[in-house]
């Protein structure tokens, strides 16, 4: 199928694009999420931009091996490859490990790498209990969690990176930031461009006023997402078995990977299928095909009911 419903899609995000300008600043947004998550947050144009800042701050280069699990997003490989040598097979020689909490599901890790970064891009946190397991850094994508058209959070255990982030912002190109913003808006509106914003966001560390305004307008969606996902998990529990998944009360997933079952309508073309490590071990190498059940705010209640019907026993 062509539709990718892993996260809030274009039609959902378009409703927040043109809403008038809010007098919103980076400091205001950072303060909001810092209070919400109980840990210092820094705002970037995207989660990939935040990851780039960490790798640069930690002086990662081509001498280093950087690990991410198989089936990770192409944006992960793009950023890792710009700094060091990425690989999908874990070994004790790995210098940098990306701990991917896939779709907001908590993964354990046994990495001994000197630098570990927690990829929580699509997690919705209830509190900070699940933050910083094995790492000083957490990455969160705002388009994937609150439906803004841009924005990423770097959540840090140690704010010593703060001065470096300020230096990156001061040296960043305003014209590049404006161009990146327009490319993202053009993508949502269906305009075709030769250039892709994804190619250069790794070197962009500031957000223009329109992007800040959009994030400020969407921030309330975080609390909405918490409530919506919690309610939907309760509904799913009564109709579909997902006891094989490890969930925590402090981290909510954007979707559930559901095992194929003879009694479930797995032939439907409207269902996405992806590979998932059911052991939920970051260094694991065994993956299974699963059906995806979306829980996030980009899915309407009617659509959610239709997904439940497709994945429930006949």
pTM, two decimals, is: 0.95
Euclidean distance between CA atoms 284 and 282, whole angstroms: 6
Cβ atoms 254, 296 nearer than 8 A: yes
Say yes or no to pLDDT of 94 above 50.
Answer: yes
Kindly give the residue spans of alpha helices, DSSP state H, lying in the chain: 10-14, 26-37, 47-57, 74-81, 142-145, 162-171, 174-188, 209-218, 221-237, 301-311
3 — pLDDT class (breaks 50, 70, 90): confident
Phi-psi region of 293 (alpha: psi -120 to 50; beta: other; left: phi over 0): beta
Least confident interval from 31-35, 255-259, 310-314: 310-314
Mean pLDDT within 127-154: 96
In this predicted model, which residue has the larger pLDDT, 270 or 71? 71
């Amino acid at each position: 199928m062509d539709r990718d419903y892993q996260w809030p899609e274009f039609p959902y995000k378009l409703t927040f694009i043109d809403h008038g300008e809010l007098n919103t600043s980076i400091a205001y947004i950072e303060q909001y999420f810092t209070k919400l998550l109980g840990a210092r947050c820094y705002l970037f144009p995207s989660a990939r931009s935040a990851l780039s800042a960490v790798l640069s701050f930690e002086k990662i280069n081509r001498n280093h091996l950087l690990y991410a699990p198989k089936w990770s997003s192409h944006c992960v490989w793009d950023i890792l490859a710009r700094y060091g040598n990425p690989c999908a097979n874990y070994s004790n020689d790995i210098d940098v490990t990306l701990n991917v909490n896939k779709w907001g599901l908590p993964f354990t890790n046994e990495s001994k790498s000197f630098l570990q970064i927690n990829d929580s891009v699509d997690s919705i946190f209830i509190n900070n209990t699940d933050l910083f397991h094995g790492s000083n850094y957490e990455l969160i994508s705002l388009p994937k969690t609150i439906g803004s058209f841009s924005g990423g959070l770097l959540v840090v255990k140690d704010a010593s990176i703060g001065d470096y982030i300020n230096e990156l912002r001061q040296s960043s190109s305003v014209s590049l930031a404006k161009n990146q913003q327009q490319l993202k808006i053009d993508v949502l509106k269906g305009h075709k461009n030769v250039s892709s914003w994804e190619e250069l966001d790794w070197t962009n560390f500031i957000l223009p006023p329109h992007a800040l305004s959009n994030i400020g307008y969407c921030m309330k969606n975080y609390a909405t997402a918490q409530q919506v996902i919690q309610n939907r998990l309760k509904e799913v529990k009564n109709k579909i078995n997902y006891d094989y998944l490890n969930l925590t009360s402090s981290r909510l997933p954007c979707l559930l990977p559901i095992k194929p079952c003879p009694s479930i309508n797995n032939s439907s073309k409207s269902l996405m299928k992806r590979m998932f490590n059911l052991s939920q071990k970051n260094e694991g190498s065994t993956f299974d095909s699963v059906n995806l059940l979306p829980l996030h705010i980009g899915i309407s209640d009617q659509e959610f009911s239709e997904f439940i019907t497709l994945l429930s026993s006949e």
